[in-house]
Amino acid sequence: MMSEIGLTYVSTGIKLQKFKFKCKSELDRPQRYNPGSNSEQSFFSRILILVMLVVSPPQCALWNSKRLVFLFPIKGRRVEEHHYFPASSSAANSSNQYSYMDDNIPEDSLVLSENLMLLGYSSISSEDNGRKPNISNEDEAIVDVGEAPNHEDIEHRMDLTDDLLHMVFSFLGHKDLCKAGATCKQWHIASALEDFWKCLNFEELNISPENFSAICRRYPNAIQVNVLGVHHVDVLVLEAMTSLRLSSSLWLYGQLPDGFFHALTDCPALKTLHISDAYFGSGIQELMIHHDNLHDLQIVKCRVLRISMPLLQTLSLKRSSMAHVLLISPQLHLLDISSCHKLSDAGIRSAATSCPLLTSLDMSFCGCVSDETLREIAFACPNLQYLDASFCPNISLESVRLPMLTDLKLHNCEGITSVSVAAISHCYMLESLQLDCCALLTSVSLDLPHLQSISLIHCRKFVELNLRSPLLSSITVSNCPVLHRINIMSTVLQKLALQKQESLATLSLQCRNLQEVDLTDCESLNNSICEVFSDGGGCPMLRSLILENCESLTLVRFNSSSLASLSLVGCRTVTLLELSCPNLQRVNLAGCDHLESASFCPVGLWSLNLGICPKLTILKIEAPHMRGLELKGCGVLQLRDESLSTTAASCSLIETLILSSCTSIESAALSSLHRLGRLTVLDLSYTFLTNLQPVFETCSQLETLKLIACKCLTDSSLDAVYKENALPVLRELDLSYSTAGKSAIEKILATCTNLVNVNLNGCVNMHDLVWDSNGGALKLLSTRASWLTPACSNGECEQPGHLIESLNCVGCRNIKRVLIPPSSCCFHLSHLNVRMAANLKEVYVACPKLDYLNLSDCSSLEILMLDCPRLSILYLTACAMLTEEAVEAAIANCEMLETLHVNNCPKIYPVYLRNLRRACPSLKRIYGVSWF
């Protein structure tokens, strides 16, 4: 009889997905519990179960007659591994009795016998018998597989083919393979596939010599062994060399057996040997190495005297402490002797010149090497292509000729000067050159046909750079404080970055494919730089130019048919800007606060933001594709009828016009807006306009109107909005901190039913927010049921209703009452913010779709009545006069309320917070005192 069980994976209290599978319950071998599959289970479900039980094996499995629970560790914490199973059939029928099975296998053991693999393994001690594990919900995720299976169930194997198991197991490491092999025979056989054990990687693992020996005997065809950082490495190495005759790679660290290098001859297949920090048990550190077939040898921090390997191609002696070394390796191509501080100049010369086929030499941090040694190496190794002589203070490369060299690194070489560069110019095949931190280098002049990249960083005396290379594609020049002139010729260079070159004054470029240039913080660049990047200046394909913080620029004139992006951020000395760039799409002028005249004729801009230019007096724009124009803060700009009319005529597609803080704008000039037939957003904030009639007459498509802090507005300034329906499609109106009158505000709210967002923050003339469909004041009746009575007949409202969704009245200190009854027909209102209304005492709100209500810092609020079934967030922070009873009554009809803020409400005590939760069962979060 099969028992069908549901699997639920729980991580943080959230049920992710359920799967159905079948399992067996056999007391004599409970470890053979295997999830299977039925006709309804998908392929993905089987793979997920497999990954959960293999890649993250359960640390604990609790099983009583009711439930079987696996505990998986999360958050990177380590938990002891336990396996709990019913001890008897009577125990299985008891809901409170548990037992466990302990196999006493160390957790660092990687190989188990077949029987032990079938029984599983655990790290608990015998003194824990009969004790339940201490389980914390914060440390584990739970996989609950429902009720325990019936003991009469027959065995049902998981229907995973061997090919599928092999595919999944191929992603596991050796330790996980051993854990998977402890599940069942099928998995044990699949995990022992020889292909998984070709490369034996035991780096930093605590494996015993017995386990290692067993693995070597079981997999004699392993070709790679890594025992870096393993204890008893000397014993393991001898075992590996004895058992793994076919191994081609070996990684070692620490103590080696005395006869190790003599035994290398017994491993004819060995081709790669890496040894790090090796020493012999007898204390000898001087190594004599001989092997006929070794190709790759890496010895780190060891002392080597003689290396005889006829087929050796790669040799690394990095950080070794020998004074000299004898190499007999005629086939050697790569030699790394970096950081061999004790190796003498003669020793370096002897080692390198004995390898005539050498193509790569790394002798960085070898302080003894000299120019004479380099000359002999150049003569003995004519095929040398890579040379790293960084941190070699005694070399200058004078009279050194390396014609085949392609990659040269000379970091921090104190002897490198301009004379050294003359020697480098004879390296006709050179592709990469690095001269970072060469303190005495003053100039570089190179004409190399194959040079592709050059790096000059922190060269303190470097003054001039001349490069001529058709293949040059990468130039890195940084922190060269006295660099004054740069001349570059390249046909493939696409990006040039010369940031923070404070002294750079002259720049000449002949780069026909150059597309991006960054000259940020080049403070000495003058106005002549504009000719370099204009048409005919040598960069015909330039697309992006950054001249940020170039404080010597005063007159910027660009005439470029290719330029698409220009940034002049922080160029505070620029007073005149003329751009004739028909393809210019982006320009950033932030911080150009001394700009007096600006001309954009013609440009391909879609939007233009002049930032804050208080001195701007002349503005010309010819941008037929422009959609947005922002002139915020252009206080002196005379936007009279003629100038604004010209701009509107040449930019007829403008949809957004920002004229905030343009204090010189005149009402007559606004009549030119009739040319902007697509204008939908108009910002006239912080202006002194009194007559808005030109806006109402010409902007019939206006959707957003901002009049923030317009202190000269009167009650009659907005008459056309609510009397004549002047802006029929207006959706957003912002009158924050303006002087609009009380009657105008009330009539706008009552009659302009198309408004969606209204901001009245800080309006001193904003009094009681009493709202009905007719715009008149409602009389508040004595009973709650009376004010909630909708103004409808036969279930249909007399008015079509307001479209308003958001209303903000923050800081309106004269508001004493808020009344929004059903008769106001605010069916769409979802956001209401009346924060910081210090005199507000009564709030009556009945809105069917209100989702957010903020009444924080209303210190006088006493009465709160709500009928908002969809309200989810309510802020009552610092409402000093509000009582717990009033809040409880208010939220009783808020069926979807989830978050309530009652911080700093002195009349709402912590003990009452539970009453609030009972009054509104949907509450999930109450922010009151910190400990609740």
Sequential DSSP letters for 674-716: GG-TT--EEE-TT------HHHHHH-TT--EEE-TT-TT--GG
Residue 73 has pLDDT above 50, yes or no: no
Residue type, 748: I
Q: Residue type for 14, please?
A: I
Residue 58 in this model has a pLDDT that exceeds 80: no
**What's the domain range around 653?**
596-766
The pLDDT confidence band at residue 326, using thresholds 50, 70 and 90, is confident
Residues 858 and 730 in one domain: no
* Residue where one domain finishes, among candidates 700, 734, 766: 766
Q: Which two tokens stand for residue 477?
A: 């020049």
pLDDT in tens, 155-172: 444 457 788 888 888 888
Which run of H or of E encompasses 180? helix 174-181
Query: Per mean pLDDT, which range of 281-285, 337-341, 699-703 is the poorest?
Result: 281-285
pLDDT at 673: 86
35-52 pLDDT, tens digit per residue, is 333 333 344 444 445 545
Whether 706 and 853 share a structural domain? no
Domain membership flag for residue 388: no
Q: Among 124-138, 515-529, 781-795, 830-844, which stretch is predicted with the lowest mean pLDDT?
A: 124-138
pLDDT of amino acid 298: 83
The pLDDT score that the predictor gives to residue 913 is: 80
- Indicate the residue type of 497: A
Let me know: does 294 contact 309? Beta carbons within 8 Å: yes
Q: Summarize pLDDT for 126-146 with one digit per residue, the tens.
A: 333 444 334 333 333 333 333
Q: Is residue 741 part of a domain?
A: yes
Question: What tokens appear for 236 in the block?
Answer: 């393991």
Predicted pLDDT at 549: 93
Percent of the chain at pLDDT exceeding 70? 76
One domain, residues 749 and 836: no
Amino acid identity of 559?
A: N
pLDDT at 776: 43
Q: Which token pair is 929?
A: 């005192």
Eight-state DSSP code of residue 265: G
pTM over 0.85, yes/no: no
Residue 429's Cα: distance from chain center in Å? 41
- 299 φ, ψ (degrees, to nearest 5): -125, 115
Q: Which of 647, 650, 644 is nearest to 665 (CA)?
A: 644
Please identify which residue in the block is written with the tokens 């006295």.
Answer: 482
CA distance 302 to 317: 8
Mean pLDDT of the chain: 77
Would you say the C-alpha torsion 593, 594, 596, 602 has a positive or negative sign? negative
Mean predicted confidence (pLDDT) in 386-391: 95
pLDDT recorded at residue 755: 92
Question: 732 and 843: one domain?
Answer: no
Nearest C-alpha neighbor of 232 from the set 207, 214, 250: 207
**Rounded to an integer, what distance in angstroms lies between the CA atom of residue 537 and that of residue 689?**
48
β-partners of residue 820 are 845
Q: Would you state the pLDDT for residue 127?
A: 37
Residue with the larger pLDDT of the pair 498 and 147: 498
Q: Give the whole-angstrom CA distance, residue 83 versus residue 219.
A: 30
> What is the mean predicted confidence (pLDDT) over 776-795?
46
Q: First vs last Cα of the chain: how many Å apart?
A: 51
- Measured in degrees and rounded to the nearest 5, phi and psi for residue 276 equal -135, 135
Query: Do 758 and 829 share a domain, yes or no?
Result: no
Identify the pLDDT of residue 487.
96
Q: In this model, does residue 17 exceed pLDDT 90?
A: no
- For residue 583, give every residue at least 6 positions away whose Cβ sits within 8 Å of its Cβ, in sequence order, or none: 561, 562, 563, 564, 604
CA–CA gap between residue 676 and residue 683 (Å, rounded): 14
DSSP letter, residue 55: T
What are 206-228's pLDDT values in tens digits?
788 888 888 888 888 777 777 77
45, 170, 590, 607 from 548: Cα distances, Å? 56, 53, 10, 20
Overall domain count for the chain? 2
Q: Is pLDDT at 638 greater than 50 in this prediction?
A: yes
Q: Are residues 761 and 864 in the same domain?
A: no
Shared domain check, 622 and 734: yes
Lowest-confidence range among 91-95, 243-247, 656-660, 897-901? 91-95
Please give the Cα distance from 307 to 315 (Å, whole number): 10
Neighbouring C-beta atoms of residue 396, cutoff 10 Å: 19
Statement: residue 282 has pLDDT above 60: no
pLDDT exceeds 70 at position 88: no
**Lowest mean pLDDT: which of 83-97, 264-278, 878-892?**
83-97
Q: What is the CATH number of the domain that holds 744?
A: 3.80.10.10
Conformational region of residue 470, where left means phi above 0, alpha means psi within -120 to 50, and beta covers everything else: alpha
Residue type present at position 53: L
Asked, for residue 553, whether it belongs to a domain, the answer is: no
pLDDT > 90? residue 13: no
Q: Calculate the CA 471 to chain-centre distance.
A: 34
In a domain, 686, yes or no: yes
CB atoms within 10 A of CB 116: 16
Same domain, 715 and 612: yes
720 and 830, same domain (yes or no): no
Q: Which residue, of 742, 766, 790, is where some domain finishes?
A: 766
Average pLDDT over residues 584-592: 91
Measured between alpha carbons, how far is 594 from 438 in angstroms, rounded to an integer? 41
Instruction: Check whether residue 635 and residue 743 sit in a common domain.
Output: yes
Rg (the chain; Cα; Å): 41
pLDDT of residue 461: 93
Cβ burial 44-60 (10 Å sphere, 16+ → b, else e): ebbebbbebbbebbbbb
What are the tens digits of pLDDT across the range 762-784? 988 888 888 765 444 444 443 44
Using CA atoms, how far apart are residues 915 and 913, in angstroms rounded to an integer? 5
- For residue 558, being part of any structural domain is answered with no
Q: What is the arithmetic mean of pLDDT over 863-887?
A: 93
The continuous run of DSSP H or E covering 304 comes out as strand 303-308
CB 358 within 8 A of CB 335: yes
Q: Which of 302, 386, 372, 307 is nearest to 344 (CA)?
A: 372
Whether the pLDDT of residue 648 is over 60: the answer is yes
| Number of other residues whose CB lies within 10 A of the CB of residue 270 | 24
Average pLDDT over residues 671-699: 89
pLDDT of residue 72: 41
User: What's the CA gap between 719 and 741, in Å, rounded?
Assistant: 11
> Does residue 675 belong to any structural domain of this protein?
yes
- At residue 832, the pLDDT reads 96
Residues 698 and 762 in one domain: yes
Q: Which of 731, 747, 766 is the last residue of a domain?
A: 766
Q: List, in sequence order, the alpha helices (H) in 244-344.
A: 260-263
Please count the CA atoms within 13 angstroms of the CA of 785 that sit on its side-chain side.
0
Does residue 913 belong to any structural domain of this protein?
Answer: yes
Q: Is the pLDDT of residue 616 over 80?
A: yes
Residue 657 lies in a domain: yes
Judge contact between 396 and 420, C-beta under 8 A.
yes
User: Could you tell me the two tokens for 624?
Assistant: 């037929």
Same domain, 658 and 761: yes
What is the tens place of the pLDDT at every residue in 686-743?
Answer: 988 888 888 988 888 999 999 999 988 887 888 888 888 888 899 999 999 988 888 8
Asked whether the predicted pLDDT for residue 495 surpasses 50, the reply is: yes
Q: What is the structure's pLDDT at 636?
A: 57
What is the rounded average pLDDT of the residues 828-843?
94
CB 468 within 8 A of CB 450: no
Q: Which of 215-219, 395-399, 566-570, 799-803 has the lowest mean pLDDT?
A: 799-803
The three state secondary structure string of 620-631 is EECCCCCCEEEC
- Cα angle 130, 136, 141 (rounded to 5 degrees) comes to 105
Instruction: Output the pLDDT for position 757.
Output: 95
Mean pLDDT (whole number) for 73-77: 37
Q: Would the pLDDT of 119 be above 50?
A: no
What DSSP string describes 321-338? Answer: --S--EEE-TT--EEE-T
Percentage of residues in the chain having pLDDT higher than 90: 40
359-368 residue pLDDT tens: 999 999 998 9
How far are the Cα atoms of 347, 368, 389, 892 from residue 323, in angstroms, in the given order?
A: 7, 11, 19, 88
Name the least confident of 465-474, 689-698, 753-762: 689-698
Of 652, 644, 650, nearest to 684 by C-alpha is: 644
pLDDT higher than 70, residue 403: yes
Measured between alpha carbons, how far is 389 from 411 in angstroms, rounded to an integer? 8
Report the range of poorest mean pLDDT among 254-268, 730-744, 850-864. Answer: 254-268
